[in-house]
Amino acid sequence: MQPKGSWTRGGLSAGSKKGPAAHEKSMLSAAFHRGEHDTNVVVLSYQDPGSKLQLAISEDPKNDNNWYSVDFDSFTGRHDVGDWGGVGHAIAGDWQNKRHDSDGSFSGLLMAIEESEEITPWECSVDFHVSSKKKVECHFLDKTFLDSHGKGIYLSSHLSQLAWVRTGHGRSQDPAQTLPYEFALLYMSFREKIQENRVGVDIPRIVGPGFDVDMDFDSFATNDNKTVYAKSGSDIVVFRLDTDGWQWKVDGIVNTAI
C-alpha cells in the first residue's frame, strides 16, 4: 500500500509562546467546522493552565499567529463549568440546528461539557467572514440532552473520556430508528463500559444500543466514518455502524502485543 501523505510537526503546543497553552491534565477535543458565511475552521477545546475551558479556532492552523482564542467561561452564566484539571468536554462540527434564517437552518458547533454530576449541551456560532471582526457566541441548549421524561445525562463519577461520533439517519423502516439522531455522544468513566446517547434537533434524547461485548475498555477514539476504536488491555476492538445506522457491530480485533 502506497502512503497517501505524511505528518508534519506544527508549532501549536502547550509550550508554544504563540499558540494556546494547556493545563497538564487537560483533555483535548478537535473538530472541523463550517460556520456562518462560508467560515471553514479547525476548532480545539482544552483547559488552560488555570483550568478554564477555552476554544481555539483557526482558518489556517499551520500558522501559529492565526489562532483565535475564546474563554468559554464568558458564556456560561449560571453554569459553573468544572475548575479541576481534566473536566470532560467534547466538540462536534456542523450541527444542523434550526434558526430563523432564510434557509431555515444553522450550522453550529455542538459541545458536551461535564459539570459536576451532569453532562450539559452547548451550541456555538462561529463567524469569521470579516477577519477583523471574528465572532464566536455560545449558549446553553435547554432540551437537547433531555429524554422523553425530561431527564438529562447524570454521572456517578468523573469521566475519563467523552466524544462525539456522527451517526446519520440510517435506512431502517422502524420509525424509532429513523428519527434524525445525527450524533451519538459516547462517554466512560475509568475501567467501565462505553455509554451511548443519541441526540438530534427538536427530539428527545434516547439511550443508544451501545457496544454489546463482554469487555471493559481503557479508552476509545472516534472518527467521521461511523467507526469507534476501543482499547481493552492489549486489544483494540473496531466497531462500525450497520447500514441502518443503529447497531454497533464488531468489525475486527487487533492485538497490539503480537
**DSSP per-residue letters across 103-115:** TS-EEEEEEEEEE
Residue with cell 466514518: 225
Question: To the nearest whole number, what is the mean pLDDT of the chain?
Answer: 80
Cβ(185)–Cβ(112) below 8 Å = yes
- pLDDT, tens digit, 9 for 90 and up, residues 20-77: 778 788 888 999 988 777 778 899 999 888 888 899 998 888 777 788 888 887 776 6
pLDDT for residue 88 is more than 90: no
With a cut of 50, say whether residue 14 has pLDDT above it. no
- Going by C-alpha positions, the residue among 151, 162, 153, 242 that lies closest to residue 194 is 162
Overall average pLDDT of the 134-159 stretch? 90
pLDDT for 173 equals 47
List beta partners, residue 92.
110
Locate 155 and state its grid cell.
454521572
* Domain definitions of the chain by residue range: 29-215
pLDDT given at position 256? 82
Residue 98: its pLDDT value, please?
Answer: 61
What average pLDDT does range 113-126 have in this prediction?
Answer: 88
Q: What integer pLDDT is reported at residue 100 of this predicted model?
A: 45
Q: What is the pTM of this model?
A: 0.84
The highest-confidence range among 69-78, 184-193, 202-211, by mean pLDDT, is 202-211
